[in-house]
């Protein structure tokens, strides 16, 4: 119960922050990314504030022996940068730059975004499905 409630509260705070900062507005995000045109630097402050809060949060959390609602911290073991990671990062960045949305803000914008948001979400779901399909095919080829 505590784990689900904390996840709900964290998601609500995250969504409200995205909405309040206008990261759910593709025009605002695209204006931030347009550094050679009519650049809007305001989202740099949003990112800076997020990094500050995250840095403080990590300092506090890592002092604990274990998380509040789990038996141990889950830290990724693989720290290598490979072709798969780089390709994913490039695709994510290209999509963000073309559309002005990434998954978090798109989910937050579902309640008021209209057809473009639903098209984006459907496209995102299709992309995730294609990834799973290709990933499964790759695993089968490797196993054979």
E-only strand ranges, 11-124: none
Spatial CA neighbour of 109 closest among 11, 7, 12, 18? 18
Q: Do the Cβ atoms of 120 and 101 come closer than 8 Å? A: yes
Spatial separation of the C-alpha atoms in residues 40 and 125, rounded to whole Å? 30
**pTM to 2 decimal places:** 0.73
CB atoms within 10 A of CB 54: 10
Instruction: Please calculate the CA angle 112-116-120 and round it to the nearest 5 degrees.
Output: 105
Q: What is the pLDDT along the chain (144 residues), one digit of tens a residue?
A: 888 999 999 999 988 988 888 888 889 989 998 999 999 999 999 999 999 999 999 999 989 999 888 889 888 888 899 998 999 899 888 988 888 888 888 888 888 878 888 999 999 999 999 999 998 998 988 887
Q: Where are the domains of the chain?
A: 2-74+81-143
């Amino acid at each position: 119960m505590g784990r689900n409630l904390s996840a709900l509260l964290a998601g609500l705070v995250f969504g409200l922050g995205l909405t309040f900062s206008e990261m759910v507005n593709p025009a605002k995000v695209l204006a931030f990314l347009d550094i050679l045109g009519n650049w809007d630097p305001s989202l740099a402050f949003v990112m800076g504030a997020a990094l500050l809060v995250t840095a403080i949060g990590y300092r506090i959390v890592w002092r604990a022996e274990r998380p509040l609602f789990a038996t141990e911290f889950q830290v990724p073991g693989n720290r290598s940068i490979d072709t798969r990671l780089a390709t994913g990062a490039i695709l994510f960045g290209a999509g963000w730059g073309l559309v002005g949305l990434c998954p978090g803000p798109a989910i937050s914008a579902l309640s008021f975004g209209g057809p473009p948001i639903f098209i984006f979400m459907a496209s995102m779901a299709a992309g995730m499905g294609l990834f799973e399909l290709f990933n499964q095919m790759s695993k089968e080829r490797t196993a054979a």
